[in-house]
Structures are given as structure tokens and as C-alpha cells.
Amino acid sequence: MESQTLIRVVLVDDHPVVREGLRSTLPACGPIQIVGEAENGLQAIRVVAKTRPNVVLMDVKMPCMNGIDATRRILRDFPECKVLALSMFDDPQYVEEMLRCGCSGYLIKDSSPLEVVIALQQVQAGLQAVSPRLMPTLVKVLGPREPEKRALTEREVEVLKLVAQGLSAKEIGEQLKLSARTVEKHREHISDKTGCSTAVQLVRYAIHKGHVIL
């Protein structure tokens, strides 16, 4: 893990077995402290008010109040809190509604515990975190890309293609025989040249330029 800052997390899911699994596995994979749990959106609002977590790991379809409405309320009443969706549904409508109401990312429940922890760290740092197969939906949701400032080098295009596939800096470095730090520098240059600061914006740019075919 790049960051060891403790992240206070509230788990929201209507299935006890899912909450139990997350409660036992996430702290074992990184600096995560589970400070509360809820089985629906209404409970989530009360638990967040009491515990003031950094991030809420939010299911989407739940009884009493769904994750979409709960996210709106939480982000309205507790703007310092962030929400990361974790759902078994990859329906574009759910993804779009969660993002539109301010959710910082959307993961599918087939994600590994380590992937969830990394996503929580990204969200806590102010970044977006999404399952790679949801990228086309995010490109649609977030609208037109930013204008390109300068052309990318051949190496930067290689890095961009792998970023668009959802690979980490370490994984990209292994494929291109570069250090993770060098990959990060290439990504900084790509962001500067394209005006794309987030992973979603970079994917949108790569698709527009034909570097990635959906």
C-alpha cells in the first residue's frame, strides 16, 4: 500500500454475510477500520451521523431506502464524507445514478478485498475508483472529454492504453519493464498534455483517439 493513513469505513449492505466478510477481510488487507454497519439506507444515515466515517461502502439495492437516495442524503448532510458503491449490479442505470448523486466510485462485488481496499484509498485521496468493465459507462456519464494540449509520445500512448485497461502503475511497469515511479511520471505528462486528470477522463480520451476499442 502506498498510503498507510487509517480510513474509517461504514459498511452498508442488506446481507449480513456480505458485511461479515468485508468486516473480516478489509482490515487484513490494508489500513481500514470498520466503525459502523447498516443494513439499509435509513440506518446508514443514522450510523454515519454517529460515527462520522471517511468513506461509506454502499450497496445499491436495499429495502427501506436504497443506496442512491442514501448517498444523496449522506453527501448533503455530511459533505466531508465520501461514498464508494459496492454492488452485484453493473446495470448502467445504477452506475449513472450513483455517480450523478455524488458517489466517488463504483465497484462490482466480484472485486477482491485488496481491490476494495485500494479503491477506498483512492476515494479517500479524492480520486475516482471504478471496476474496469464499467469504464465505458463512466465515459458516457461524464460527458465530453477535455481538449488535447500536446501530442503524446509513443511511450506515453503505451502507458495510456494500459491505464485504460485498469492496470496499476506497478502492473504497467512490469509489462513495459519500467519502474512504477517512471510510469507515474509518464502518467503526469499524459495528464498535462491532454488536460485529463482522472482515470475516467484518460479512458475517455483513449477511446476518442482510438487507442482503446470498446
Q: What is the pLDDT of residue 1?
A: 40
* 25-45 pLDDT, tens digit each: 999 999 999 999 999 999 999
* Res. 118 pLDDT band, cuts 50 70 90: very high
* Coil vs helix vs strand at 111: coil
**pLDDT value at 79 more than 80:** yes
Task: Note the pLDDT of residue 91.
Answer: 82
For CATH 1.10.10.10, list the domain ranges present in the chain. Answer: 154-208
First vs last C-alpha separation in the chain: 31
User: What is the mean predicted confidence (pLDDT) over 1-30?
Assistant: 90
CATH of region 7-131, choose from 3.40.50.300, 3.20.20.70, 1.10.1060.10, 3.40.50.2300: 3.40.50.2300
**Per-residue confidence band for 208, with pLDDT thresholds at 50, 70 and 90:** confident
Q: What is the pTM of this model?
A: 0.66
Of the candidates 32, 34, 58, the one whose C-alpha atom is nearest the C-alpha of residue 45 is 58
**What CATH number belongs to 154-208?**
1.10.10.10
